[in-house]
Amino acid sequence: MKKILITGASGFLGSSIVGELIKNGYKVSALKRSKSDLWRCADFIHNVNWIDCDNLSDVESEIINYEPNILIHSAWGGVKSYDRENWIEQEKNLSFFVYLLEVSKRAGIKKIVALGSQAEYGTYKGVVDEFCPCNPNSAYGTIKLCAYTILKSFALENEIDWYWIRLFSIFGPGEDKNWLIPSVIENLLGKKEMKLTGCDQKYDYLYLKDFTSGIMSLINCSKSKSGVYNLSSGTSISIKEILIYLESRLSPDKKLLEIGALPYRSNQIMHMEGNSELFFRSFNFSPIYKISVGLEETLNYYLMQKKNDKKK
C-alpha cells in the first residue's frame, strides 16, 4: 500500500485530495498546524495520521519513520487577495518548501506532486500552455515560480520524480467564502445587493471533483514524465454568464447583482484559459463535469448548509 504525505490537508484543495485518497485505500499522513480548522475533514478526520508541524524540529523523525512513498504539497500561505502582494508572507512558503524537500530526501520519497498556479505566467490574453514564457507580475506568482525552479533542480539532483501542476480557477463546495462564486452565493442567499465589475472576463473554471480526479490519475500513474503540467478544464466562460445563472436560481424576482458598478483593476486579465492537453494525454484523464452541473452541486451544498443552520 502506498503511503502519502500531504500538506494543506485542511484547505479547499488538499481536503478534497485526502478524501479521495482515503476512499482509494491509501494510507495518509498530513502535516497541519495545531490550530488548523479541520471542518472540511470531518468525513475522514479519524482515518488520517495528523502531524502537528508548529515546531519543524519535532516533525522530521516522525515523517522518516512513516516512510512515505509520495509527497503532495498543496499548502500555501498568503492565498487571499490582500496577501498576494505581501512579499514577506509569500517568501515564507519557500523556506517551508525547502524544508519539506530535504526531509523528503531523507525519508526516501520517490515522487513529489506540488501545486503551482497560472499566476506564474503573469498577464496574458487567451490560451496558455506549458511552453508559454513565465512573467509573473505579483509576489504570489513570482514565489510560486521560484518554488517550481527549486523543485525541478532538487528533484533532478536527487533522482526524484517531480510534477509541478499549474492550476487555473477551481470551484466547488467548501471553497473559501472570500472567493467570487461562494461570496456571490452568500450575498444572494442573504438577499444582499452586491457591486461588481462588468464581469466580461472569460475564465477557465474546473470543478473540484474533476480537479481531484485529475490528481488521482497522476498519483496512480506509474509511468509518466516529470515536469510542469497545466490542469484546467480547457475551456473558458464569461464570469457574467456564471453570475446571471446564480442570480436566476437564487433571486429570480429581484436583481441583486450590480454588474458594471465597479471599474476593472488596472492589470485585469480579460481572458484566462489553460491548455491542459499535455496533462490529459500523460495521465489518461479528461474532465467530465459540465460547469452547469458543478454550479448546481455547489448551489445545493450551500442551500443544504443554510437549511442545517436554521435547524440549529
What is the C-alpha to C-alpha distance for residues 213 and 219, in angstroms, rounded to an integer? Answer: 10
Q: Distance between CA atoms of 232 and 294, rounded to whole angstroms?
A: 14
**Residue appearing with cell numbers 488548523:** 36
51: helix, strand or coil? strand
Asked if the 3-170+206-231 domain carries CATH number 3.40.50.720, the reply is: yes
Mean pLDDT of 151-180: 96
CB 37 within 8 A of CB 7: no
Q: Rounded to an integer, what distance in angstroms lies between the CA atom of residue 114 and that of residue 45? A: 22
The C-alpha atoms of residue 283 and residue 216 are separated, in whole angstroms, by 9
Per-residue pLDDT tens over the stretch 119-159:
999 988 899 999 999 999 999 999 999 999 999 999 999 99
Q: Which CATH number applies to 172-204+235-311?
A: 3.90.25.10
Assessment of whether the complete model's pTM goes beyond 0.85: yes
Q: Where in the chain is the domain with CATH 3.40.50.720?
A: 3-170+206-231
| Band (55; pLDDT cuts 50, 70, 90) | confident
Neighbouring residues of 265: CB distance < 8 A, sequence distance ≥ 6: none
Question: Where do the CATH 3.90.25.10 domains begin and end in the chain?
Answer: 172-204+235-311
pLDDT level of residue 312 (50, 70, 90 thresholds): low
Closest CA to 265 of 174, 142, 162, 137: 137
For the record, the C-alpha cell of 96 comes out as 517551508
Where would I find the beta strands (DSSP E) of 62-189? 70-73, 111-117, 126-128, 161-167, 169-171
First to last CA, the chain: 41
